[in-house]
Every structure is written in C-alpha cells, then in structure tokens.
Structure 1
Amino acid sequence: MPVPPSAQPLRTPRRRAPRNTLNPDRILDAAITLLDRDGTEAFTMRALAERLGVAPMAIYSHFRGKDEISDAVAQRLLDTVELPGACGAHPDRELREVCLGVYRLFTEHPSALQLLTTRPTRGDDALAVIDRMLTLLRACGLPRQDAVRAHVALMQYTVGSALWSTRRTRAMCEEGARERAKAKLRALPPERYPALASLVPELLCAQDDAAAQYEWGLDRLLRGLLAGV
C-alpha cells in the first residue's frame, strides 16, 4: 500500500555552498578540520564534499584526488613551522624555537604526523625542517655525528611528547574522565605506591600543562646535548 505524501518523512536538504565560492584554500581548510577530527583512515572525498556542501566532483576541479589533497595539507601545515634564515648569534635559541614549532604543529594538528608517515613521498615535505635543525646543531659546535644523533634525539622527544599530549587530551574528552583520573591518583595507597602517592599534586600539575612540561624537558635535553661545545 503506497504511503500518502503527508506521511512520508521529510528529507533535510543538503546545504550547498554558494556558486563560485569553492577554491583550493576552502578545500584545504575543510580537509584539515576533518583530518584532525577523524584521522587519515576516515578521511574520504565524500566526507570532505559533505562538509563543504558540494558534490564530490566539484572538488576534482581543484585537486586530482584524496592523495593530492593530503599532500597539500601536509605542506601547508609544515609551512606553519617558522624556520630561521641564516644562523644568528644564538643558534641554540633558534633551535629551541624550531623544536617548539614542530611540537605545536603536532599537538594542534594531530593529523600532521599521520600525513608525514602514511606515504613515503610525504616525508620530503619535512626536509626543510630537518635541514634547518641540523644546520643549527652544527652552528652550535657539534661534530657531524653528534649533530645527527642530537637531531634524532630531539625529534624522538618532540614527537613522543606530542603523541602523549594529544592521546591524553582525547582520552580526557569523555565527560568526567579527568575527574576520575585525578580521583584514582589521589586514592593510591601510600604503602604500595609511596612515591606516587606523595607526589600526586606535582603529577597532576605536570599532566594538566603538557606544553610547559615539554618545554621543561626540552631545555634540559638541549642543555645536555650542547654541554661542552
């Protein structure tokens, strides 16, 4: 029996973007939002088109496909890391700023690290950052091999800190999760975990300010790496 028109569910029309307003910048802005929110695995041309309010084919007028968009996003995000030009009088300070820039990139845009590691060719986008860090380490007086090892140590610390921060932030997004985690720490039996129980206030402070914790460790790592040069 056919359903009368008045009884059929109403369909919500898709909001369309105004004509002639779609451009590469708008597409990349929307792609960055989706990638940061859902990750590279869930990023599709259909999802991007829905966010933009256009048909998927409209995006192909500007980009050949998802891979080209992902490459453009990776380059745009890396371009936000400010790299000093010629080495100044304080290469150690400039090196610190580059590390902070990379850390901010990975914490503000969690998709950046995924994009740089999911396809071999995308690693080329990071070469300028690597080259600048190595240049600054050499300018600080480190020998060739030590400069390379120092660069690897700084990147391991920076990437690891960013991953720790973003994953904890996501885990704490659930309603009440932060309060439950704090309550669990405060309830630790001191006879079993004497150090943890006695340092709960300090632990909570360090966990709540991940950026300050990263800078604290970065300063001490740089001091150790550059000691004696």
Structure 2
Amino acid sequence: MDDIVSKLDPVQVVDEALAVVRSDGEAALSMRSLATKLGVTPMALYHHFADRDALLLALVERVSETIVFPTPSHDPARDSVDLALCLHGFLVEHPWMIRLISTGRLASPAGLRFPEGFLSCARHAGLDDEAAFVFYRTMFATILGQATITCAKRNRPSVLPEHAGARPLLPVVTELTPRWPELDAAQTPARVFEAVTGILPSA
C-alpha cells in the first residue's frame, strides 16, 4: 500500500480529475471512480487529498492559474465590465466551474480577485460598503447567469417557443416574437454587463 501511495503523483490525480469534469461535469467526479481510473484504492487518493472538496479545490486552483486579469483603467464602470467579461470568459471555457463557484465554498486566491475587483470599483464610484456589496453580488449573479446562457447557446440557439393560446396575456412578447432571435443576438455579454454597471454613480 505504501508503495502505491508513493508512486501516485498528485499532479496525475488532478490531470485525471480535470479530464472527468471537463467530459462529464463536476457532479460525475467521485473519489472511488477516480481511484478506479487510476488503478489505485480510494485510500491512496485520500493520502494526498483529504476529501472530495480538497481535490476540487486543487482543480479550481489549477485552472485559475490560466486567468489573465484585465489592466485597470481606473474608470469603475469600465473596469467592472472588463472584469465581468474576464470571469465570463473563464466560466465559458470551464463550464463545470459555474455550479462550483456559485456555492462560494471553493475559492482560490485568483478567484477572490473578482470580488475584490468589483468591491473596489464600487467603492471608487462612491458607494458605501453595503451598496458596494449589493453591486458585487448583482454583478456576480449576472455573470453566472450569462455564462450559463452562453454555454447553453453553444448547442441550441435562442428561439422563443410558440404559445398561441397565451398571446392575449403576453402582448409585448407576442409583438417581439418575430424579432426575438435578432434582439437576443444583439444582447452580447458586454452589453448585459454594461447595463448592470449603470447602477454605479456617474463619475
């Protein structure tokens, strides 16, 4: 057993775990199934990673190393949009992170730079701490939602279902239905994030 543990490379474990979550999602990762793939017992994995969360944190830290943060412009609204686009792009590249990051349990040092950035932008715009936190949470929720939508659209374009019987109750939606794909396509992540930053006080 000691010989197996000594030969088990933690880097190899993280590599294999990343392959699993990229292929099948974070929920598909278990210590038992991963041990089987690596040809070891689950206890051999626990020698290097205390539990599944510890392994997931190692995955988060690995992929977070690839984040390239934008250079601040010292314009709170512009910097917030740039930071939002950075996080959005990261989540679209690693969609298995969307559910993980929403729990707030497994934050890497690099990941914590996002709340730091949004809170700093809000303060620079003149918001007090409570309002700054609301701004950060609003941006964060918007980014998670937009990343989910972006990932979903990869496989299926946005088309509004036809509900003829509901038309009297939905006059605006009914009117816009023919233009729905056009309007939806125009709402890029940047435009969505710019709309949210509109809540910041003008400089």
Same fold (TM over 0.5): yes
**CA deviation vs aligned residue, 1:104-157 (integer Å, no higher than 9, x gap):** 22233222133335584x246543321122122223343333322211211121
Which residue number corresponds to residue 13 of structure 1? none
Which residue number corresponds to residue 140 of structure 1? 125
Cα distance between partner residues in 2 of 1:38 and 1:62: 25
Q: Which runs of 5+ in 1 are unaligned?
A: 1-19
Cα distance between partner residues in 1 of 2:87 and 2:200: 20
User: C-alpha displacement at 1:75, in angstroms?
Assistant: 2.0
Aligned pairs for 1:1-229 (under 5 A) are 24-48=10-34, 54-57=38-41, 60=45, 63-64=48-49, 66-84=52-70, 87-117=72-102, 120=105, 122-123=106-107, 125=109, 126-166=111-151, 168-169=152-153, 173=155, 178=156, 182=159, 184-185=161-162, 188=164, 192=168, 193-207=170-184, 209=185, 212-222=187-197, 224-229=198-203
Q: In the superposition, relative to structure 1, how do residues 99 and 139 fare at CA in structure 2: closer, same or farther (>3 Å)?
A: same
> Is the contact between residue 81 and residue 105 of structure 1 (CA under 8 Å) also seen in structure 2?
yes
User: C-alpha displacement at 1:71, in angstroms?
Assistant: 0.8
Query: Which of the pair has the greater relative contact order for Cα pairs under 8 Å at 6+ separation?
Result: 2
Quote the RMSD (CA, aligned, Å): 3.8
Q: Which runs of 5+ in 2 are unaligned?
A: 1-6
Q: Which is further off, 53-62 or 111-120?
A: 53-62
Task: Give TM-score, length-normalised by structure 2.
Answer: 0.70
> Is the contact between residue 189 and residue 197 of structure 1 (CA under 8 Å) also seen in structure 2?
no
Task: Give TM-score, length-normalised by structure 1.
Answer: 0.63
Q: In the superposition, relative to structure 1, how do residues 74 and 29 fare at CA in structure 2: closer, same or farther (>3 Å)?
A: same
Cα distance between partner residues in 2 of 1:134 and 1:119: 16
